[in-house]
Amino acid sequence: MVSAITLAIDGQEIVTQAGKTILQAAMEAGLYIPYLCYYPGMKPFGACRMCVVEVENGRGTPASCTTPVADGMVVSTNTPQLQDLRKGITELVISEHPHGCLTCHRTDIHGANLCGPEDICLRHVSVTDRCVACPKNERCELKDTTIFVGTGLTTPLTYKYRNLPVLTQDPFYDLDYNLCIVCGRCVRACEELRGDSAITFTDRSGISLVGPAHGTSLLESGSEFCGSCIDVCPVGALVESDYKWEKAVENVSTTCPHCPVGCQLKLDVNQRGKVIRAIPELEADANHGQACFKGKFGLDFINSRNRLTTPLVRRNGSLEEASWEEALSLVAEKLSGYRGDQFAAIGSYRGTNEENYLLQKFARVVMGTNNVDHSSNIKPEMLEPLGEALGYQAATNPIWDLEDAKCILTIGTNTSEEHNVAAVPVKRAVKKGAKLIVIDSREVELTRYATTWIRPKPGTDAMLLGGMLRVIVDEVLEDEDFLKDRCENLDALKHSLWRFDINKIEDITGVSQDDIRLAARTFAENSPAAILYALDTVPQSQRVDCVNALVDLALITGNVGKPNAGLYPLRPGTNDQGSWDVGCVPNLLPGYQAIDDVSARAAMQQVWGVDLPSGRGVGINDVFQSVSAGNVKAMLVVGDSPSFSNGDLGDIIETAQSLEFLVVQDTFLTGLAQVADVVLPSVTFAEKEGTFTNLERRVQPLRKVLDIQRTESRPDWWIICEIAKAMNGQGFDYHCPAQILDEISSLIPFYAGITYQRLLSKKGLLVPLLMPNFPLPSQLHPSTGGQNAGIQWPCTTPEDEGNSVLYAEGFPSGKARFIPLEMGEAPTMTTADFPFLFLPGRVLHQSQQEMEIVVAGQKNHIQRDELLKLHPLDAADMGINEEDWVEVISHSERIRAKARLTEEAFRGTVSATFLFGDLMTRLESSEDPDPMSRVPRLPLTPVRLAKLEA
Amino acid sequence: MTTNQDDQTQKIGEALANQSARTVTVLSSLLAIEDAIGYIPPRAIEQVAAYTDSTINDVWGVASFYTNFRFTPPGEHTVEVCWGPTCHLLGAQEILQAALQALGLSEEGDTPDGKISLKYNTCLGACSQGPVISVDHKIIGPQALGGLKGDAMVQRIIEIISQLKTGASNA
């Protein structure tokens, strides 16, 4: 219990908690104290001295951002002496900061620029430091603060311009250190908020600045290009290079479409209706003010000129523009001929709950088939054991719970790239002393933070986990109380473990007994412990075993149903959780009702008014085989998906050509759309409403950021409804997604209390609740929480605030049920043509390998020789010597690398670790309209090697 | 080619491992390396980061803060001219000007041929012998030069420096 403290600030009595600083207490009470280096959420720093106050009976003028509150304190924030001090401080700060913007008589009292487009600058400032040349013009905290404290600029333009070059060579970032005030927010954001260290303070005294080591490039310094430093920069020193000088006329908060973390982003819109900037919401519960390279720099596809503008219909072999009426009636007419299992519908990687609900309703009600799925559902095995053992097929705990876990186990997940913001609390936990066990044959960023990094032979992950369980049982490390009260079937599990002999496991997995024991003990003895898994490295036949073992591992150590513990399945698609919830899968009706459950089907038939098909349909993993076999003849595909192009599903474009009728709804003319018979243009996430359910079960709203402009494209939900209505489908008369969500809530008990209105009523960040006269529009105002929170299901009534931790009050079926394990066999993952398994890795920084930054086309690039690690015996077989150049050939790619022979490599595997910076330069120069949705992943790939002659 | 680099890596590794500092820190590690090889090459930043379990950026922050660390190889010989208060009063300026002129430099730095690095030093700790310079960490002043003083001493010092430049062994 934190004790309450009463203090007086400017005569106002304030009750706050011990441990707060004066600045925080004042802000929360609605009193503003000017600040520059302080930032909500960061530790006190006290560099700028702008927030000085006077404390009665105290010495001097302490900085309020570093002074803790004390009972009975009497604080003054605005005496004449303090005002003078602050004026002096701003004068010092701006003595090296170009500030023509502050001294010009063409600015009004709020600092707004009154220059017209034809006006000639009257200040005779050199072109580089004119106010319009500053990327933060009119959203600069320094400018606002200087005006606020009333610094009379009697001697204008006496600043010293540092004449440093503006750095624009790095991807996505523009750095202008002439504007830097060395407040250190960026350095601290990188370190404290992100758990990284990509920039530091360089040099000292008058020439001190911020920047990467050696002062060259962010590419080599370990930057993950998350943009956090840009978000906190109070001036124009660090900015996004795209739309750098654009001014926002509006900003709307919405949900990022790139991954299932569901970051809340504030999107800035300029007067021409373009989304110019994304700033993560500081107080959103899903992302706590963080975003990643995808959300921060990967939304320009909204503004693309290559978007589809009208429906396209295939006439005489080529796609031609058509009207909506024509396209829809053609679709309706054609699809009518394929009712039943000849038809399949594939929902979007980014489909909202409403759209995916409608799609499965369309497939089941109108088309009479269970052939419906969403395109990212390529690993359904990740979830099913969770439902079986625990109750819900979902992550048990919220993302930011991870920050206070004592142990975190990750398996087969490249979290820092694919669910970037979820890796932030993991890194922060490690900084606080948590143990991180990484099980991955690849070298990924989290392996650099790992306390224990275990590299099992590919395909043996499930056996390794079985071995860990065996150690826990043998050494009696279970959580006995938890087992006794809340679990059943433990004996069956223990019985199944007798096969998991540790000697045998050591043999199979290639992991030493010591390491297995160490991992097991670390996990069991550091509670609470959480598990993150994506099963990227686990072959299909092993996935169920693997998840079974993970569930058992969490249960046996008592890590379910309590904070900072639990299981986190990390799926690829933005709304995979929601798509499952609303039944956009071939085997489940909305609310996880099995399709073969007669009573569930009957209940649904009552609501939808038609007989429903029974029997599991085909899903994303088997639909293209069904197409090849001629069973499925017509398809409706909503949205493009990485699964269509990354090889997971084979060459689907060619298969799709054998369809008799293919309808694609998409924003761009993608590969699949090009072979479609009808292409219906759909809008992006920014132009529609709806909801996404993120990986922690948080239902969050999509707000309409832009009106649909210059195009006839429509939201996917509207398109599906129109097709259904054209085919005389009943129950598709919706006028807005909120209405569809109401239907979903009425059908799914754990969504019952969720309405669109409830989600929207939690307003965006920059609406100060307590401070109506908040003086500085450019500074963030920390409110008292509850903003952009979304609602975590289960939420059963309109009053229910949702549940962040599942099973805290018990399991739905009374007790959790252990799943006995089977000792499977490691599958062969190579072929005769490609006899080696390639383990690719990617990290931010690799100190062991020489590299160089070269500038080409005005951009920085990494130049270095890649190293291919392989076993000396394999190398000898191939006649490869150390340092020989080798080509690694897979079915789709060729990579050249220098051989590095090491006994650490498993026989039959080769590995190489690439640099993230390299990926960034490629993404920035990509021609793809939406490159961030196609960030190359790191799949284990069968390859062959060819020695190259020097 | 690689052997030189490996050699340096090894030297840095040894310097890190054999530190005499009671508490090993980033700073003590950087000092040990500068002592061993005369400067902090980029690889040393990496090695210190690995050795002290910090990051290259943290190490760079420390290294760039202290002006005594140099990041390019020093000349073959180091000449430091003391310009502390005592030496200053005893005539350091004359030595300094003469040395700069003899080396063809306008301020502290390296001669273009890479033979000599000239540095200013705020105190070499030999005030009683002032004015002094140090050549490759050996103090040279009136006492070391057998009681020479004034112009004669300056001239002798310049001779010593010039000998370094031509490669002849120093006095």
The answer to whether A372 faces chain B, any CB pair under 8 Å, is no
Using alpha carbons only, give the angle A197, A202, A206 rounded to the nearest 5 degrees: 145
Phi, psi of A229 (to 5 degrees): -65, -35
- Residue A783 has a pLDDT of 52
DSSP string covering A641-667: -HHHHSSTT--HHHHHTT-SEEEEEES
Could you tell me the pLDDT band of residue A179, with boundaries at 50, 70 and 90?
A: very high
**Considering only CB atoms, which chain B residues are within 8 Å of A215?**
64
List pLDDT tens digits, range A76-109.
999 999 999 999 999 889 888 888 788 777 766 6
Q: How far is A203 from chain B (nearest CA, A)?
A: 4
A463: left (phi over 0), alpha (psi -120 to 50) or beta: alpha
Q: Taking residues B73-101, what's their average pLDDT?
A: 90
Closest chain B CA to residue A848: B46
Are B87 and B144 within 8 A, CB to CB? Answer: no
Indicate whether A778 pLDDT > 80.
no
Does the distance separating the beta carbons of B50 and A213 come in below 8 Å? no
The answer to whether A99 faces chain B, any CB pair under 8 Å, is no
Query: A773: buried, middle or exposed (CB in 10 Å: 19+, 13-18, 0-12)?
Result: exposed
- Residue A469 has a pLDDT of 96
Indicate whether A419 pLDDT > 80.
yes
- Residue A763 has a pLDDT of 45
Q: Taking residues B138-159, what's their average pLDDT?
A: 85
- Residue A134 has a pLDDT of 86
Indicate if ipTM > 0.85.
Answer: no
Tokens of A899: 């051989």
List pLDDT tens digits, range A674-705.
999 999 999 999 999 999 999 999 999 999 99
Using alpha carbons only, give the angle A290, A293, A297 rounded to the nearest 5 degrees: 105
Q: What is the CA radius of gyration of chain A?
A: 29
Instruction: Give strand pairing partners of A411.
Output: A439, A533
Indicate whether A393 pLDDT > 90.
yes
Tokens of A504: 């045998």
- Residue A801 has a pLDDT of 86
Closest chain B CA to residue A198: B57
Distance, CA of A421 to CA of A441 (rounded, Å): 22
Phi, psi of A196 (to 5 degrees): -110, 180
List pLDDT tens digits, range A266-303.
999 999 999 999 999 888 889 999 999 999 999 999 99
Indicate whether A580 pLDDT > 90.
yes
Closest chain A CA to residue B5: A850
Does the distance separating the beta carbons of B45 and A213 come in below 8 Å? yes
- Residue A117 has a pLDDT of 67
User: Tokens 């494209």 belong to which residue?
Assistant: A713
- Residue A123 has a pLDDT of 61
Task: Tell me the domain boundaries of chain B.
Answer: 4-65, 77-166
Homologous superfamily of B77-166 in CATH?
A: Glutaredoxin (3.40.30.10)
Distance, CA of A937 to CA of A648 (rounded, Å): 11
The answer to whether A202 faces chain B, any CB pair under 8 Å, is yes
Distance, CA of A945 to CA of A851 (rounded, Å): 24
Helix (H, G, I), strand (E, B) or coil at A535: coil
Could you tell me the pLDDT band of residue B171, with boundaries at 50, 70 and 90?
A: very low
- Residue A774 has a pLDDT of 57
Query: A806: buried, middle or exposed (CB in 10 Å: 19+, 13-18, 0-12)?
Result: buried
- Residue A173 has a pLDDT of 94
Closest chain B CA to residue A220: B56
- Residue A605 has a pLDDT of 93
Could you tell me the pLDDT band of residue A782, with boundaries at 50, 70 and 90?
A: low
**Considering only CB atoms, which chain A residues are within 8 Å of B54?**
197
Q: Taking residues A58-69, what's their average pLDDT?
A: 93
**Considering only CB atoms, which chain A residues are within 8 Å of B65?**
201, 203-204
The answer to whether B8 faces chain A, any CB pair under 8 Å, is no
Q: Could you say which of A198, A204, A850 has the minimum Cβ distance to residue B57?
A: A198
Does the distance separating the beta carbons of A198 and B56 come in below 8 Å? no
Q: Taking residues B34-42, what's their average pLDDT?
A: 91
Q: Taking residues A313-336, what's their average pLDDT?
A: 95
Does the distance separating the beta carbons of A212 and B57 come in below 8 Å? yes
**Considering only CB atoms, which chain B residues are within 8 Å of A201?**
61, 65
- Residue B89 has a pLDDT of 92
The answer to whether B61 faces chain A, any CB pair under 8 Å, is yes
Does the distance separating the beta carbons of A201 and B65 come in below 8 Å? yes
Distance, CA of A523 to CA of A333 (rounded, Å): 59
Could you tell me the pLDDT band of residue A784, with boundaries at 50, 70 and 90?
A: very low
Instruction: Give strand pairing partners of A791.
Output: A699
- Residue A396 has a pLDDT of 95
Indicate whether A110 pLDDT > 90.
no
Question: Within 10 Å of residue A117's Cβ, how many Cβ atoms?
Answer: 5
**Considering only CB atoms, which chain B residues are within 8 Å of A229?**
none
Q: Taking residues A461-487, what's their average pLDDT?
A: 94
- What is the pTM for the complete model shown? 0.91
> Please, what is the average pLDDT of chain A?
90
Distance, CA of A178 to CA of A209 (rounded, Å): 10
Closest chain B CA to residue A431: B54
Could you tell me the pLDDT band of residue A125, with boundaries at 50, 70 and 90?
A: low
Better pLDDT: A779 or A351: A351
Beta strands in B46-159 (DSSP E): 77-82, 109-110, 116-121, 133-135, 138-140
